[in-house]
């Protein structure tokens, strides 16, 4: 036999449901104008409250949809995500912005910011290579940074951001080449001479006119010598002597060096 709930139980359940509903946090921005939301978000960004700025800017995107303010909110949100360490989200926001607004006058800034997001990853990638023995490292962020900067300077050569982007591109290329040489050195020091030759050859094939190529050639000379491949050793040495006639490597000055090759930006 089924029993009906007593009036007391029904009242208690209703009160619990109402309490649950009332616990939902109020939207403090409900009565705010888009301009006020933007002002509050900018204040959070300026004070370092990036995690608090992001939800404000997301609200602004919805309320000011279709306006230049909404576009600005997307860019500022990407910047806040980047500064908050949410790099994947920042890239996604920037990609969405460029897809939705391909004719925006701020595309150059979006490309520049996308390059910066990955450029900082690049610094983290290379900044401690001289202090650790590493055989492999992910270069994806550095290459994506280069691609974003390259697109910026190609499409917008006169942009206010292009000169800085060019300098960062040069740094990235030098870093990528030096990374290959670092790995080649790593293999050589552990007796993996064939692997060392392979990585040195990658640097020589993929990069031109960068400082790291001098050491790449020297590693080839040493590795071929260890393997008893005298003809290839002598060929590599001739190229080294021709390309770098005053090379410290040829004089043995740099053996056992401890100074890091990298520099912070």
- 127-153 residue pLDDT tens: 544 444 333 445 788 889 999 999 999
5-9, 149-153, 207-211: range with lowest mean pLDDT: 5-9
Residue 201 clears pLDDT 60, i.e. is over it? yes
Q: What is the DSSP letter of 129?
A: G
Taking the CB of residue 92, how many other CB atoms lie within 10 A of it?
13
Query: CA torsion 110→86→148→201, rounded to 10°?
Result: 170
Residue 124 clears pLDDT 80, i.e. is over it? no
Taking the CB of residue 130, how many other CB atoms lie within 10 A of it?
14
pTM score, whole prediction: 0.74
* Cβ contact 134:180 at 8 Å: no
The closest alpha carbon to 122, from 257, 262, 228, belongs to 262
Q: What is the pLDDT of residue 4?
A: 53
């Amino acid at each position: 036999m089924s029993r009906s709930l007593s009036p007391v139980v029904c009242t208690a359940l209703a009160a619990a449901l109402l309490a649950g509903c009332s616990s939902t946090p109020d939207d403090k921005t409900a009565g705010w104008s888009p301009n006020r939301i933007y002002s509050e978000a900018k204040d959070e960004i300026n004070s370092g409250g990036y995690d608090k700025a992001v939800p404000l800017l997301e609200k602004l995107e919805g309320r000011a949809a279709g306006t230049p303010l909404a576009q600005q909110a997307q860019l500022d949100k990407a910047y806040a995500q980047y500064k908050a360490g949410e790099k994947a989200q920042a890239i996604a926001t920037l990609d969405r912005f460029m897809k939705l607004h391909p004719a925006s006058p701020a595309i150059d800034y979006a490309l520049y910011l996308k390059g910066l997001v990955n450029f900082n990853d690049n610094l983290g990638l290379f900044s401690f290579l001289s202090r650790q023995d590493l055989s492999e490292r992910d270069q994806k962020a550095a290459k994506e940074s280069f691609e974003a900067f390259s697109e910026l300077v190609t499409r917008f050569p006169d942009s206010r951001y292009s000169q800085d982007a060019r300098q960062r591109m040069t740094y990235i290329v030098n870093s990528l080449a030096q990374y290959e040489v670092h790995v080649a050195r790593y293999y050589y020091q552990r007796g993996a001479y064939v692997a060392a030759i392979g990585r040195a050859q990658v640097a020589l094939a993929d990069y031109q006119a960068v400082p790291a190529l001098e050491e790449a050639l020297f590693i080839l000379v040493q590795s071929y010598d260890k393997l008893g491949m005298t003809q290839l050793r002598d060929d590599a040495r001739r190229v080294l002597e021709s390309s770098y006639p005053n090379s410290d490597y040829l004089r043995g000055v740099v053996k056992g060096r401890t100074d890091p090759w990298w520099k912070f930006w």
